[in-house]
Each structure stands twice: as structure tokens, then as C-alpha cells.
């Protein structure tokens, strides 16, 4: 079996998926949706990642064509993973770097695999966004000597994007809280934990949050400097006004 998970270049509704691919979607893990037909198993995550699992890779490509999605589109983030079925496997699953091996492909196991891979794709999306924010924050620091008070608005907008990125990462990717369904199924929990380990989900998440904290510190530093410049500017205005008043007073006195 072949698995392809991709970050959608544009949002797709469940109605669009059902109509285009001729399948019925049901509520899945953590507000996601899943469905299947004779060609493939589909999982749509709540954070905009679509996962398709099929025996033949061509079936996946045909589904993407029906959805008007091209893998050649710029900036499309994808991850694929072969899934092998071995009825003689000693354990219910085995996860390797090169493949996932299942004794039996159940709906739950496929949904758990799709969740872990989609979280990895979602993380990659935010990692790329963070790289862009990191470059911007460095540019802000490098121009700190010439940063004007009028640039405060742009800096506030940058801080807003930073806060929204952190909020989206924490709330959307579901990495801080274990999915509820895993508490009731030890095998599903073990499969998810193994996939999370192989994909380094938690380590990558921590690194991303660390980068966010670093960028936040950079923004706070620049904000402090701007506030200091503003205070200094106001102080000079007060000094000038006092000086003008003294000159005017002396002028009136000497008349």
C-alpha cells in the first residue's frame, strides 16, 4: 500500500471531497474526517492536511487530479510512506524508517498512521513559516540602528503574525495532548507513539517552539529600543519647549 500526505494548497470542504471522490466522510480522530471507497482510504485533518492511502500510487494521483491538485505546484509539502501487510507478523505492527508493516490494515490503524504523518507534514509547514519569520527577525535586528519610531506599526504586525503562528501550532497540530481515542486502545496508542518517535514529532515541535521564543525575544528587544527612542524624542521636545519659553521670557524681560 502507498500513503501520501500533503498540506493542502487551498482549503477543501468535506462536501467537495465527498462529491469529487464519490465517498462518504465520517468524523475521525480529533475533529478530523475519514472515508474510503474501493480505491483508497482518505483522512482529512483539522489543520489542512489530506492523507490518501491506496494499493496503487496511480489511484492516489487520480484522486488528486479529481481534486485539481498537482504535486508539481510550488511550495506543496508532501510526505509518503509505504505500508506493508504481513499476516505472519509477530506483533500487530512494526515501524521502520523505510516502511510501516501491519499484520492487518484496520480503519483505526490507518487513521492513526494518517494522523501521525499529517502532523509531520503540518510541522514541516510551520517549520518553513518559522524559517521565513526567523529571516525577517534577523533583518529587523540588523537594521536596529536605523529603525524609526514610525516602524512600530510594522513591528506590531510582525508580532501579531508571530503570536498567531504559535497559537496555530499549539492548537491545531494536537501534539501537546494525546488524542482521546488512544486512551481506550493500547495497540493504537503504541502505534502512534512509535510513529511519533520515528518522525521525531515531539523533538521537532520543541525546536519550533524554541525558535518562536527566540524570535519573540528579538521582537521584545527591538520594541524596548523603539520605546526608548520614543521617550528620548519626547524628552527632547520638552527640553526644546522649555528653552523656547525661557528665550521668550528673556525677550519679554529685556524689552
Task: Identify whether the C-beta of residue 61 lies closer than 8 Å to the C-beta of residue 39.
Answer: no
Model confidence at 196: pLDDT above 80: yes
Please give the average per-residue pLDDT across 189-207, as a whole number.
90
Please give the average per-residue pLDDT across 145-156, as a whole number.
64
Which cell is 79 given? 510526505
Task: Give the separation between CA 147 and CA 192, rounded to whole angstroms.
Answer: 48
Task: Give the separation between CA 137 and CA 142, rounded to whole angstroms.
Answer: 9
Over the stretch 81-106, which tens digit does the pLDDT of each residue have?
999 999 988 888 989 888 999 998 89
Task: Give the separation between CA 54 and CA 37, rounded to whole angstroms.
Answer: 10
CA 168 from centre of chain? 7
Model confidence at 175: pLDDT above 90: no
Long-range residue pairs from 150-159, CB within 8 A, at least 24 positions apart, any chain: 151/226, 152/223, 152/226, 152/230, 155/219, 155/222, 155/223, 155/226, 158/133, 158/219, 159/219, 159/223
Task: Give the separation between CA 168 and CA 47, rounded to whole angstroms.
Answer: 9
Average model confidence (pLDDT) across the chain: 83
pLDDT of 254: 64
Over the stretch 46-64, which tens digit does the pLDDT of each residue have?
888 999 999 888 999 999 9
Over the stretch 111-139, which tens digit does the pLDDT of each residue have?
999 999 999 999 998 888 888 888 877 77
pLDDT of 28: 84
Give the strand pairing for 78-85 and 40-44: unpaired
**Residue of higher predicted confidence among 92 and 219:** 92
pLDDT band at 43 (very low <50, low <70, confident <90, very high): very high
- What stretch of H or E contains 3? strand 2-7
Over the stretch 244-255, which tens digit does the pLDDT of each residue have?
777 777 767 666
Out of 3.40.50, 3.30.310, 3.90.320, 2.60.40, the CATH code matching 2-106 is 3.30.310
pLDDT of 131: 86
Please give the average per-residue pLDDT across 203-215, as a whole number.
85
pLDDT of 149: 54
Please give the average per-residue pLDDT across 189-195, as a whole number.
90
In the block, cell 519550533 appears at 208
In the block, cell 508571530 appears at 162
Please state the domain extents for the chain. 2-106, 113-228
Burial of 43 (C-beta count, 10 Å sphere; 0-12/13-18/19+): buried
Over the stretch 223-239, which tens digit does the pLDDT of each residue have?
776 666 666 666 677 77
Amino acid at each position: 500500500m502507498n500513503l501520501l500526505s500533503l498540506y493542502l494548497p487551498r482549503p477543501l470542504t468535506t462536501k467537495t471531497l465527498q462529491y469529487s471522490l464519490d465517498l462518504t466522510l465520517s468524523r475521525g480522530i480529533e475533529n478530523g474526517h475519514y472515508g474510503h471507497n474501493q480505491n483508497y482510504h482518505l483522512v482529512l485533518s483539522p489543520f489542512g492536511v489530506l492523507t490518501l492511502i491506496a494499493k496503487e500510487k496511480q489511484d492516489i494521483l487520480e484522486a488528486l487530479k479529481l481534486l485539481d491538485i498537482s504535486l508539481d505546484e510550488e511550495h506543496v509539502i508532501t510526505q509518503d510512506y509505504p505500508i506493508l501487510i504481513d499476516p505472519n507478523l509477530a506483533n500487530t505492527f512494526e515501524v521502520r524508517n523505510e516502511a510501516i508493516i501491519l499484520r492487518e490494515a484496520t480503519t483505526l490503524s490507518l487513521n492513526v498512521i494518517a494522523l501521525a504523518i499529517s502532523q509531520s507534514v503540518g510541522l514541516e509547514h510551520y517549520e518553513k513559516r518559522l524559517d521565513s519569520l526567523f529571516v525577517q527577525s534577523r533583518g529587523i535586528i540588523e537594521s536596529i540602528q536605523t529603525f524609526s519610531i514610525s516602524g512600530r506599526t510594522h513591528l506590531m504586525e510582525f508580532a501579531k503574525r508571530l503570536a498567531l503562528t504559535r497559537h496555530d501550532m499549539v492548537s491545531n497540530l494536537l501534539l501537546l495532548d494525546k488524542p482521546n481515542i488512544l486512551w481506550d486502545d493500547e495497540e493504537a496508542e503504541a502505534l502512534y507513539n512509535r510513529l511519533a518517535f520515528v518522525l521525531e514529532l515531539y523533538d521537532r515541535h520543541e525546536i519550533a517552539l524554541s525558535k518562536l521564543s527566540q524570535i519573540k525575544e528579538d521582537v521584545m528587544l527591538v520594541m524596548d529600543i523603539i520605546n526608548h527612542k520614543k521617550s528620548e524624542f519626547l524628552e527632547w521636545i520638552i527640553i526644546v519647549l522649555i528653552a523656547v519659553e525661557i528665550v521668550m521670557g528673556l525677550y519679554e524681560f529685556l524689552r
